[in-house]
Amino acid sequence: MAEITIDIPVSTPYRVHVGTRLLEAAGSIARNAVPRAHKVAIVTDTNVGPLYAHIVRDGLEEAGFDVATHVVTAGEEHKTLATYGSILESLAAEELDRSDAVVALGGGVVGDMAGFAAATYMRGIAYIQMPTTLLAMVDSSVGGKCAVDLSCGKNLAGAFWQPAAVIADVGCLGTLTPERLADGCGEVVKHGAIADRELFELLEKTPFTFDLLVHDLSLAAAIIARNIEIKRDVVAADEREGGIRKILNFGHSIGHAIEARSGYTRGHGSCVAAGMVAMARGSRRAGWNASDLEDDLAERIDALCRAHGLDTGCPYGTDELMEAALHDKKRQGDAIDLVIPHSIGAVSIERCEFEQLRAIIELGLAAQAGDAA
């Protein structure tokens, strides 16, 4: 098992535990993380609950916790204020107090909603992230962002609320569908693209697939741990996304627009993959620091995404994507900060007018159409 300490200046340090058979150890890890808690509420969903909730419940009860369970309907389309409200009502009905804790058992949707509920219930109680998907392990469970979607856009209501611990049991990945595992790889590729050439090149040689989970689980765990370290370093430098943390948004402005246009039926990782490729191609064609770009940068990102089973295509036009981008929470008036790639492992943050974003999207889509032809 790997233990990674997340030490953010304005928050209490916590540990991310990465390994196997950690669900069974959840009780002892939770007791160390929230020693004053008497009650714990497991928040899970209709997909994950039947698989793992009983294991986690047994471990928590053995550690002396009084355990309640609240199950929400699985799916991004249920990441709403109504579902968030139902979690709050459940915490109140179970009479959790300020010393108690929430356990978020599931993927990114569960983690976001349970974290937001913990951040706002009684003005904030502790919570523990127990991610069961690759996407949640390497991305949403670490860093303290928690939110729900509004009708106008993704993650528009939320808070920064750091967990007391993160428990990432790599064995849970074995129950994912190939599509869900691939979806998590969008963020894995992104981390290599923005911050770690060595990780990117490792993934080019050894893609993160079910074959890797079967034949080299230790390498799979090491790749997950490296992704967490990358996010740790960025978040520790900028918890509230006032500067360097924005590099984690590479591909997200276009990706979130694709996700919104799909009605959230297309996976987040696939949307980010398409967004990264469109941004790399479009920013080069638009002349954003084109002189220092690697010649094959977009092609390498595209190829690596596809090697992980991610669709990098975009079926929507520029006008459709721009309409969705206008509701991006990163918007500042008529401008938005974009992450521009220069080489594998090196990016910059550039303030971009919306008309410039339009040009980048249009040129990126045109380049994609040319490649397809």
Share of the chain above pLDDT 70, in %: 97
Mean pLDDT for the chain overall: 94
Is there a catalytic annotation at residue 17?
no
Q: Which DSSP string do the residues of 143-165 spell out, in sequence order?
A: SSEEEEEETTEEEEEEEE---SE
Percentage of the chain exceeding pLDDT 90: 88
123 catalytically annotated: yes
Summarize the confidence of residues 131-143 as an average pLDDT. 96
CA dihedral 306, 308, 310, 312 (to 10 degrees): -30
Does the annotation count 241 as an active-site position? yes
pLDDT for the residue 295: 80
Crossing angle of helices 108-120 and 81-93, in 10° steps, is 60
- Catalytic: 78? no
Catalytic option among 79, 154, 180, 187: 187
Active-site entry in 231, 232, 284, 300 = 231
pLDDT digits (tens, 9 = 90+) for 281-323: 999 999 886 566 788 999 999 999 999 999 999 999 999 999 9
pLDDT for 142 equals 95
The verdict on whether 191 is a catalytic residue reads no
Largest separation between any pair of C-alpha atoms in the chain: 62
**pLDDT recorded at residue 370:** 63
Q: How far apart are CA 322 and CA 21, in angstroms?
A: 45
The catalytically annotated residue of 180, 268, 308, 342 is 268
φ/ψ bin of 251: left (φ > 0), alpha (ψ from -120 to 50), beta (otherwise): left
Measured from the Cβ of residue 242, the count of other Cβ atoms closer than 10 Å reads 8
Residues 214-240 have pLDDT tens digits of 999 999 999 999 999 999 999 999 988
Superfamily name with CATH number, domain 178-237+250-372: Dehydroquinate synthase-like - alpha domain (1.20.1090.10)
> Catalytic residue among 239, 241, 259, 362, which?
241
Does 164 have pLDDT greater than 70? yes
- Cα of 194 vs its chain's centroid, Å: 15
Domain 2-175 of CATH type 3.40.50.1970: yes
252 is catalytic: yes
Q: Choose the catalytic residue: 15, 39, 191, 252.
A: 252
Answer yes or no: 245 catalytic: yes
Q: What is the mean pLDDT of residues 149-176?
A: 94
Q: Which of 15, 39, 78, 145 is catalytic?
A: 145
- Catalytic residue chosen out of the listed positions 246, 256, 284, 308: 256
Q: What are the extents of the domains in the chain? A: 2-175, 178-237+250-372
Per-residue confidence (pLDDT) for residue 373, from 0 to 100: 43
Q: Do domains 2-175 and 178-237+250-372 have the same CATH topology?
A: no
| pLDDT for the residue numbered 144 | 94
Given 47, 155, 227, 249, which residue is catalytic?
Answer: 249
Tell me how far apart the alpha carbons of residues 159 and 347 are, in angstroms, rounded to a whole number: 26
Cβ atoms of 67 and 57 closer than 8 Å: yes
261 is catalytic: no
pTM confidence score: 0.93
